[in-house]
């Protein structure tokens, strides 16, 4: 740690000490700035190079209390200290663990290099705080919260000049300084690698503390290089069941630009572009394999995912089952859950599915999920919107045509959508709008499992699963003669009605899932007021409308903002929501009154606890007080 300008290193230090002993601080540059600052602090504490502040040794009960207070640190540090001791055996040095006050808790090693008085000073219970012993590696590492080496005359007290010491602080998983690890020996035994060894060992202890603290959580190991994972340079993250980062080691805080005081507040998605469900799935299906992810700052990091052990399945996250496309549509509504269960039973069987439901309830999404969960998943899913095509084109679109079959037809011909679905699933959307002339042709295809392209004589065999959908009451259309009865019965192997959004009991869960799809892991949520208004709204456009509203709202969020509030909603929706306020008996249609009333209700629900209510509402306590005062 010695530096010298115009002096040989030893000379510079001797000169600096001479000045110190004459009561002067040496000029800048004569000793390492860290040492100079520490000397300054030592003088400020009233010490002189000849006299420390010899605080009494802790008594045995006091020492056992101090050890008890740092039991976790001592337990995790001991094997690492033993390892260090093995590495330094025979070098005449000691491995020392001190607490955050500089009190020695444990020592290991050869004390032969010490005389009797010195042995007492390096026994557990002694304090090496800077204010007692001036500049020394343990005290100065604590004061600087950084790894420090102090050699010979750099020690403030003259009588410690025979020592060479290297120390590194040890922080807990929440960044709190817990203590310091040190190797001290006779100055003759100085070794250039000691400082690095101590720092690496302190990291090792920190990682052991981290793993012990977060053994039940989802943990991520990260590094810019795949080979860096598993080394002391790796970042460690612990993720809570709600997706928040609850623990990070020093390397992870640097890699993710994270402060320890942000732990528990920042969500993983705010630092890494990853989806929590996907991470968990990866961890289970690819144990040990690194996954590449982009950090917010643009850096690419390799992650190793360690899912929480299964025995801790009480947390929501670890309990989350691996989901396929159909169960991903189940967010808690009973009617949907029943539809999903029934669809799952017929997926892959030669039973046509007819999906009924208002526009935007997710019929096509449902059909895709049925396809994805069946044995035809690897073959195409082909959707045809029967209402969107002019009548004369539907025929060509569906059945295909031979080369030059009609004016404007391409020379190569066209296989048609039905043949494109070969082996997979044909989804006929808005089947209720299919012209009568085509209904009979479609019926023939379904009966014969053959297609005759327009202008072609030869029938072509086809094999596909059929799912049809309509927002029209198809049975009524059949009864009124607008839809062929025989086709109706061909289509409806199993009819499932998907509920409109206003009838779904899981609207808010669905909204939360949509938000997570829009910004995976971003921790976006509706404010309580908006959530309450959404839950009471009629949603004529169903999930399509909700998804669009949320997409726009997310685009309007300010950077760092995660709550969707009134100001993020389109004016026409706010009007609609205002016309249908929730709890109509207690509220007027006025939005201000609506939100005031919600605030009061929330305060009541929180038993008058304003902080809790403010947190739930996503506003500051001051705003809540101000609004309630009126
Ligand atoms: N479970 C869901 N999760 C996420 N988004 C969904 C879900 N269901 C539907 N959506 C979205 O809602 C929109 C409408 O879905 P879809 O096209 O499946 O509805 P539909 O009932 O077939 O509508 P239409 O009858 O008008 O064709 C799409 O943008 C889709 O992405």
Are 506 and 546 in contact, with CB atoms under 8 Å apart?
Answer: no
Work out the angle between the directed axes of helices 528-536 and 610-617 (0-180°, nearest 10): 60
Question: Is the pLDDT reported for residue 611 higher than 80?
Answer: no
Question: Is the pLDDT reported for residue 584 higher than 80?
Answer: no
pLDDT given for residue 436 in this prediction? 83
- Residue range 327-403+413-497 in CATH 2.60.120.1130: no
**Is this complex scored with an ipTM above 0.90?**
yes
Q: How far is the CA of 368 from the centre of ligand 1 (A)?
A: 10
Confidence class of residue 411 from pLDDT cuts 50, 70 and 90? Answer: low
Sheet with 177-186: list strands edge to edge: 104-109, 93-99, 177-186, 163-171, 148-151
Question: CA-to-CA distance for 148 and 150, rounded, in angstroms?
Answer: 7
pLDDT given for residue 455 in this prediction? 78
Question: CA-to-CA distance for 495 and 469, rounded, in angstroms?
Answer: 9
More confident residue, 489 or 215: 489
How would DSSP label each residue in 359-397? TTSSHHHHHHHHHHTSTTTTS-EEEEETTTS-HHHHHHH
- Report the atom number in ligand 1 closest to the C-alpha of 498: 21
What's the chain's length in residues?
A: 630
Question: CA-to-CA distance for 88 and 535, rounded, in angstroms?
Answer: 67
pLDDT given for residue 214 in this prediction? 87
pLDDT-above-70 percentage for the chain: 87
Confidence class of residue 9 from pLDDT cuts 50, 70 and 90? Answer: low
pLDDT given for residue 405 in this prediction? 64
How far from chain centre, in Å, is Cα 68? Answer: 34
For ligand 1, residues with CB inside 6 Å are 329, 357, 359-365, 429, 469, 471, 514, 543-544, 547
Nearest-CA residue for ligand 1 atom 26 is 359
Q: How far is the CA of 385 from the centre of ligand 1 (A)?
A: 14
Of 27, 29, 39, 23, the closest CA to residue 153 belongs to 39
pLDDT given for residue 14 in this prediction? 87
Mean pLDDT of 84-110: 88
Confidence class of residue 295 from pLDDT cuts 50, 70 and 90? Answer: confident
Helix then strand count (H, E) for the chain reads 25, 19
Architecture of domain 503-569: Orthogonal Bundle (1.10)
Q: What pLDDT, in 10s, does the model give residues 494-529? A: 999 999 999 988 899 899 999 988 888 788 899 888
More confident residue, 28 or 578: 28
- Report the atom number in ligand 1 closest to the C-alpha of 470: 25
Question: Is the pLDDT reported for residue 586 higher than 50?
Answer: no
Q: How far is the CA of 325 from the centre of ligand 1 (A)?
A: 14
Nearest-CA residue for ligand 1 atom 13 is 544
End-to-end Cα spacing for the chain: 64
Question: CA-to-CA distance for 139 and 621, rounded, in angstroms?
Answer: 42
Task: State which fold the 60-203 domain adopts.
Answer: Beta-Lactamase (3.30.450)
Q: How far is the CA of 515 from the centre of ligand 1 (A)?
A: 15
Q: What pLDDT, in 10s, does the model give residues 306-353? A: 988 654 333 333 333 446 889 889 888 889 999 999 999 888 788 999
pLDDT given for residue 410 in this prediction? 63
pLDDT given for residue 170 in this prediction? 96
Phi and psi torsions of 384, nearest 5°: -125, 125
Phi and psi torsions of 199, nearest 5°: -65, -45
E strands, 432-512, are 450-451, 460-461, 465-470, 494-497
Are 134 and 157 in contact, with CB atoms under 8 Å apart?
Answer: yes
In testing the pocket of ligand 1, which one of 543, 549, 551, 552 has its CB within 8 Å of the most ligand atoms? 543
In testing the pocket of ligand 1, which one of 330, 547, 548 has its CB within 8 Å of the most ligand atoms? 547
Instruction: Find which of 72-86, 140-154, 249-263, 338-352 is predicted with most confidence, using mean pLDDT.
Output: 140-154
In testing the pocket of ligand 1, which one of 362, 389, 467, 510 has its CB within 8 Å of the most ligand atoms? 362
Q: What is the CA radius of gyration of the chain?
A: 36
Q: What is the mean pLDDT of the chain?
A: 84
- Residue range 216-306 in CATH 3.30.420: no
Mean pLDDT of 566-588: 63
Q: Which of 13-22, 93-102, 279-288 has the lowest mean pLDDT?
A: 279-288
Q: What pLDDT, in 10s, does the model give residues 378-401? A: 888 888 888 877 777 777 888 888
- Report the atom number in ligand 1 closest to the C-alpha of 366: 18
Question: CA-to-CA distance for 175 and 477, rounded, in angstroms?
Answer: 68
Confidence class of residue 542 from pLDDT cuts 50, 70 and 90? Answer: very high
Q: How far is the CA of 417 from the centre of ligand 1 (A)?
A: 21
Q: How far is the CA of 145 from the centre of ligand 1 (A)?
A: 55
Q: What pLDDT, in 10s, does the model give residues 206-263? A: 998 998 888 888 999 999 988 888 888 899 999 988 889 988 998 999 999 998 888 8
Work out the angle between the directed axes of helices 71-88 and 194-213 (0-180°, nearest 10): 150
Going by their DSSP bridges, the two strands 465-470 and 563-564 should be labelled as: unpaired
* DSSP helix/strand/coil, 209: helix
Nearest-CA residue for ligand 1 atom 23 is 360
pTM score, two decimals?
Answer: 0.48
Q: List alpha helices for 94-193, DSSP H.
A: 116-121, 130-133, 137-144
Are 442 and 449 in contact, with CB atoms under 8 Å apart?
Answer: no
Can you tell me which residue has the tokens 């929440």?
174
């Amino acid at each position: 740690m010695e530096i010298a300008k115009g002096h040989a290193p030893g000379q510079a230090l001797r000169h600096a000490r001479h000045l110190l002993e004459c009561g002067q601080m040496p000029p800048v540059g004569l000793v390492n700035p860290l040492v100079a600052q520490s000397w300054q602090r030592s003088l400020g504490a009233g010490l002189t190079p000849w006299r420390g502040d010899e605080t009494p040794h802790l008594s045995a009960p006091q020492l056992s209390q101090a050890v008890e207070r740092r039991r976790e640190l001592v337990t995790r540090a001991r094997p690492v200290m033993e390892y260090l001791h093995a590495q330094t055996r025979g070098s005449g040095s000691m491995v020392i663990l001190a607490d955050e006050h500089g009190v020695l808790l444990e020592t290991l090693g050869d004390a032969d290099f010490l005389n009797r008085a010195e042995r007492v000073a390096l026994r557990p219970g002694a304090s090496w705080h800077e204010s007692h012993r001036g500049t020394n590696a343990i005290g100065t590492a604590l004061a600087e919260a950084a790894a420090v080496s102090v050699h010979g005359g750099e020690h403030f007290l003259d009588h410690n000049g025979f020592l060479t010491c290297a120390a590194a602080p040890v922080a807990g998983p929440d960044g709190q300084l817990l203590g310091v690890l040190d190797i001290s020996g006779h100055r003759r035994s100085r070794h250039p690698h000691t400082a690095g060894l101590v720092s690496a060992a302190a990291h090792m202890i920190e990682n052991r503390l981290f793993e012990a603290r977060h053994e039940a959580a989802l943990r991520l190991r990260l590094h810019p290089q795949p080979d860096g994972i598993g080394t002391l340079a790796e970042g460690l993250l612990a993720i809570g069941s709600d997706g928040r980062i609850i623990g990070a080691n020093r390397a992870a805080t640097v890699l993710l630009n994270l402060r320890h005081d942000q732990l528990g507040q920042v969500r993983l998605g705010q630092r890494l572009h990853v989806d929590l469900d996907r991470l968990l799935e990866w961890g289970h299906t690819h144990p040990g394999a690194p996954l590449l992810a982009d950090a917010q700052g643009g850096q690419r990091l390799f992650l190793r995912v360690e899912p929480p052990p299964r025995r801790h399945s009480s947390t929501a996250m670890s309990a989350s089952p691996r989901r396929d496309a159909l169960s991903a549509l189940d967010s808690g509504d009973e009617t949907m859950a029943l539809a999903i269960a029934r669809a799952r039973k017929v997926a892959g069987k030669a039973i046509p599915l007819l999906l009924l439901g208002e526009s935007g309830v997710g019929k096509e999404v449902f059909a895709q999920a049925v396809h994805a969960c069946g044995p035809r998943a690897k073959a195409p899913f082909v959707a045809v919107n029967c209402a969107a095509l002019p009548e004369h084109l539907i025929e060509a679109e569906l059945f295909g045509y031979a080369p030059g079959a009609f004016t404007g037809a391409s020379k190569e011909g066209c296989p048609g959508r039905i043949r494109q679905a070969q082996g997979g699933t044909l989804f006929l959307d808005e089947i209720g709008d299919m012209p009568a002339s085509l209904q009979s042709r479609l019926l023939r295809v379904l009966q014969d499992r053959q297609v005759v392209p327009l202008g072609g004589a030869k029938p072509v065999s086809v094999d596909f699963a059929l799912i049809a959908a309509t927002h029209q009451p198809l049975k009524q259309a059949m009864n009124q003669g607008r839809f062929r009865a025989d086709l109706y019965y061909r289509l409806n192997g199993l009819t499932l009605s998907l509920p409109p959004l206003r009838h779904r009991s899981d609207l808010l869960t669905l909204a939360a899932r949509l938000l997570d799809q829009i910004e995976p892991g971003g921790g976006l949520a509706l404010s309580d007021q908006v959530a309450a208004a959404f839950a009471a709204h009629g949603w004529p456009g169903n999930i399509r409308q909700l998804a669009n509203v949320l997409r726009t709202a997310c685009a309007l969020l300010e950077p760092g903002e995660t709550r969707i509030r009134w100001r993020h909603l389109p004016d026409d929706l706010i009007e609609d929501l205002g016309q249908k306020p929730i709890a109509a008996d207690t509220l007027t249609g006025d939005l201000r009154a609506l939100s005031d009333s919600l605030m009061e209700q929330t305060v009541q629900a929180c038993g008058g606890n304003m902080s809790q209510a403010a947190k739930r509402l996503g506003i500051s306590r001051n705003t809540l007080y101000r609004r309630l005062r009126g």
